[in-house]
Structure 1
């Protein structure tokens, strides 16, 4: 199986939650997760600010971002693979990209909410 590399913002509480879930689902260890806050950005040819602004992954040597990066990650996880394969359809991927861009507008508010929840007493 080809290793997929995913770069994520470990300083973002929302991102940490998403990546924690993906790590649990990735039982085969098919994904190399790179925390930009700890490891820098490794061999990614994209500038750090761009990596933090938009989700990026490298699948089969090809750099993808946004919904395409999520779809690549889903394809690497058996339970999510059908969704990732469906995203190979250009119309499906375009729809997912529209949803991703809408999410990016909400992301700052969601990050604040997730941060407050992490800081809340148990």
Structure 2
């Protein structure tokens, strides 16, 4: 069982490029099976037991940890940065208790705009 399974939308060019870049940074963890990246479009019902639908994952990153907990949005990005060599400082900065609410707010607004753009461009 992976330490972290990240679900994302490969049909979004921005999301796909971002995850591809991140996956390359985490190549050792991916190869060891500790981190997995999965396309929600290949398994649209994968997170339905958590109450997450396809559009939820197309809107925001979702992940499950080794204990089966669901992690959503900015918290997924923070975990990835924490695991990524050279990016731990970013996780500490943006994930500290005073800044985290603003990190989540900023992530959610960006995700909303990106989701609307993807719908408008037909990236489904």
- TM-score (normalizing by structure 2): 0.73
- For the structure 1 residues 48 and 105, does the alpha-carbon distance in structure 2 shift closer, same or farther, using more than 3 Å as the test? closer
SS of 2:38's equivalent in the other structure is strand
Which one of 57, 62, 86 corresponds to residue 51 of structure 1? Answer: 57
- For the structure 1 residues 110 and 50, does the alpha-carbon distance in structure 2 shift closer, same or farther, using more than 3 Å as the test? closer
Which one of 42, 47, 64 corresponds to residue 46 of structure 2? Answer: 42
- Between the two proteins, the alignment pairs up a number of residues equal to 113
- For the structure 1 residues 110 and 92, does the alpha-carbon distance in structure 2 shift closer, same or farther, using more than 3 Å as the test? farther
Q: Do the aligned residues in 1 keep the contact of 2:4 with 2:65 (CA within 8 Å)?
A: yes
Give 1 or 2: higher helix fraction. Answer: 1
Deviating 4+ runs (over 6 angstroms): 110-113
Gaps of 5+ in 2: none
- TM-score (normalizing by structure 1): 0.74
